[in-house]
């Protein structure tokens, strides 16, 4: 899967433009998910030196991303198009219901097979917005 991960409030505590403390299990969880063969994309509001600092922060801890704010490394960002990524999953602190914490994310990648995760993803894609909100099938 291609997975987009936010930085501030997700990998680190939200202290933008500074870099906050690493969230418990964030880097290690992402390294393990990457070892499973998933492509990780850093997806953040940061640009310029603040973005470079975030990438360096992760790299110093052994985490390198497939791409940063792009769908693939060679993509050239065009200011006239939205920065929407073509990914299977977003991990972000601004999810509906808030951030679920890294231990829950890790559990979902270890307790279920990738096939069941993909089936769940496909099932959610077919559900209407209201069914997702109210949990009715």
Structure tokens at 110: 């270890």
Confidence (pLDDT) at 36: 92
Q: Which helix H or strand E contains 4, and what residues bound it?
A: strand 2-5
Domain ranges of the chain: 2-75+85-134
Q: What is the pLDDT along the chain (137 residues), one digit of tens a residue?
A: 999 999 999 999 999 999 999 999 999 999 999 999 999 999 999 989 999 999 999 999 999 999 999 999 998 877 666 677 889 999 999 887 788 888 888 888 876 555 665 666 666 655 555 555 565 54
- The Cα angle at residue 10 between residues 8 and 11, in degrees rounded to 5: 85
Environment class of 122 (CB within 10 Å of its CB; exposed 0-12, middle 13-18, buried 19+): exposed
Distance, in Å, from the CA atom of 15 to the CA atom of 51, rounded to the nearest integer, reads: 14
CATH number for the domain formed by residue range(s) 2-75+85-134 = 3.40.50.1000
Residue with tokens 């219901």: 97
Q: What is the pTM of this model?
A: 0.75
**For 66-99, what is each residue's pLDDT tens digit?**
999 999 999 887 766 667 788 999 999 988 778 8
Comparing C-alpha atoms, which of 3, 68, 70 is closest to residue 31?
3
């Amino acid at each position: 899967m291609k997975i987009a991960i936010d930085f501030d409030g997700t990998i680190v505590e939200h202290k933008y433009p500074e870099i906050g403390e690493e969230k418990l299990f964030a880097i290690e969880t992402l390294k393990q998910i990457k070892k499973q063969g998933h492509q990780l994309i850093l997806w953040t509001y940061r640009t310029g030196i603040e973005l470079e600092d975030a990438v360096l922060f992760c790299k110093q801890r052994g985490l390198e991303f497939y791409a940063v704010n792009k769908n693939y490394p060679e993509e050239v960002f065009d200011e006239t198009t939205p920065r929407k990524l073509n990914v299977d999953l977003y991990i972000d602190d601004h999810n509906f219901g808030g951030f679920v914490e890294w231990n829950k994310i890790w559990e979902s990648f270890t307790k279920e097979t990738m096939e069941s995760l993909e089936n769940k993803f496909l099932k959610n894609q077919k559900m209407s917005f209201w069914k997702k909100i109210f949990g009715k099938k």
